[in-house]
């Protein structure tokens, strides 16, 4: 499938951090915020998930389809760690990546597109979300 076909089939919408998303699950336990949430998230070639962080929630990325995903994180805003999410486990790619609460994160596809899922616990809210200033990057 193409990125456009997946966006249409899954009903994805533009996300403020970049890319395309649709929330697919919100656990009703845990009050209005929910105990956890799950989204589809797609990045097309040339798009990126810009640097952002969740102040009080852990985010787990799950690889689904397309090119491997370059997932970057910075706990201190200076040093960047990079993990490749994808299906080639023998060559160091992993199907999951964990971003601790308060940790800066960004991502980009290494090909035409990447489809992932993101689980956030406790559930995602925009009140907990901080998008970095345009052009900001750890260590820069």
Instruction: Establish if 138 belongs to a structural domain.
Output: no
Query: Over the stretch 72-131, which tens digit does the pLDDT of each residue have?
Result: 999 999 999 999 999 999 999 999 999 999 999 999 999 999 999 999 999 999 999 999
Range of the domain at 20: 3-95+104-131
CATH number of the domain enclosing 10 = 2.60.120.10
Task: Please tell me the pTM assigned to this model.
Answer: 0.95
Task: Give the integer Cα–Cα distance in Å for 38 and 119.
Answer: 4
pLDDT category, 4, cuts 50, 70, 90? very high
* pLDDT(140) > 80: no
Please tell me the total count of domains within the chain: 1
* pLDDT(32) > 90: no
Question: Which of 19, 24, 54 lies closest to 130, judged by CA?
Answer: 54
Tokens of 80: 């960047």
- Percentage above 90 pLDDT, the chain: 95
Task: Give the integer Cα–Cα distance in Å for 1 and 92.
Answer: 25
pLDDT of residue 6: 98
**What is the rounded average pLDDT for all residues in the chain?**
96
The terminus-to-terminus CA distance of the chain in angstroms comes to 37
Query: Over the stretch 37-50, which tens digit does the pLDDT of each residue have?
Result: 999 999 999 999 99
Instruction: Establish if 140 belongs to a structural domain.
Output: no
pLDDT of residue 31: 81
Instruction: Establish if 136 belongs to a structural domain.
Output: no
Instruction: Establish if 121 belongs to a structural domain.
Output: yes
pLDDT of residue 30: 79
Instruction: Establish if 139 belongs to a structural domain.
Output: no
Instruction: Establish if 62 belongs to a structural domain.
Output: yes
* pLDDT(14) > 80: yes
Tokens of 23: 């929330």
* pLDDT(18) > 80: yes
SS3 assignment for the chain:
CCHHHHHHHHCCEECCCCCEEEEEEECCCCCCCCCCEEEEEEEECCCEEEEEEECCCEEEEEEEEECCEEEEEECCCCCCEEEEECCCHHHCCECEEEECCCCEEEEEECCCEEEEEEEEECCCCHHHEEECCCCCCCCC
Instruction: Establish if 109 belongs to a structural domain.
Output: yes
């Amino acid at each position: 499938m193409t990125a456009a076909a997946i966006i249409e089939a899954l009903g994805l919408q533009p996300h403020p951090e970049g890319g395309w998303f649709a929330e697919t699950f919100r656990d009703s336990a845990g009050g209005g915020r929910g105990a956890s949430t799950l989204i589809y998230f797609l990045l097309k070639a040339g798009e990126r998930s810009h640097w952002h962080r969740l102040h009080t929630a852990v985010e787990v990325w799950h690889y689904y389809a397309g090119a491997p995903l370059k997932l970057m994180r910075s706990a201190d805003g200076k040093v960047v760690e990079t993990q490749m999410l994808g299906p080639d486990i023998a060559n160091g790619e992993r199907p999951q990546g964990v971003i601790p609460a308060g940790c800066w994160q960004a991502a980009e596809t290494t090909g035409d597109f990447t489809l992932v899922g993101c689980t956030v616990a406790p559930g995602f809210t925009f009140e907990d979300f901080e998008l970095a200033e345009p052009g900001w990057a750890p260590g820069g």
